[in-house]
Amino acid sequence: MYISNYIITHILNMNIASNEISVRNFINISPLLMLFNTCIYSPITEELAFRKSIKDCISNKWIYILTSGLSFGLLHIINNINSPLSLLYLIPYGAFGITFATLYYKTNNIYSTITIHAMHNTLAIIIYLLGVSL
């Protein structure tokens, strides 16, 4: 995810994803609410919606992984698609979703993906709050 974001923002000279800009704006407006939402609420609801519920409906491993991962990625960019290049952000978000779908498929333990998702989001917020540029 970080490598593809780096390529998109630095090599292609595009801005960070609009979803990321929205999250940062909300962190500045209401940091405690966003900490709760980003680090606890979203990982739980997104993993239940995009991993558990989709796996319960799709038995084929590869169709499940691709459907889960790409729908997760699309959800994170759909409101901010303003040009064909905006679709490039499906790569990092989709990769993140595909990785989690693969983990859930292998472990059949939704808590593993919730935990890793929460850790990722928490680390991303800490990096943002520290002002570190990746």
Task: Tell me the per-residue pLDDT of 47-89, one tens digit each, with 9 for 90 and over.
Answer: 999 999 999 999 999 999 999 999 999 998 888 787 788 888 8
Q: Which contacts qualify for 21-30: CB closer than 8 Å, 24 or more apart?
A: 22/80, 24/128, 27/125, 27/128, 27/129
Confidence class for position 22, pLDDT limits 50, 70, 90: confident
Domain limits, the chain? 2-130
What Å distances lie between residue 74 and 70, 71, 89, 106, CA to CA? 6, 5, 9, 23
Averaged pLDDT of the chain? 89
pTM value is 0.85
Contact present, 116 and 103 (Cβ < 8 Å): yes
Q: What is the pLDDT of residues 93-111, one digit of tens each?
A: 999 999 999 999 999 999 9
Contact present, 38 and 23 (Cβ < 8 Å): yes
Is the pLDDT score of 134 beyond 60?
no
Phi/psi at 16 (5° precision):
-65, 160
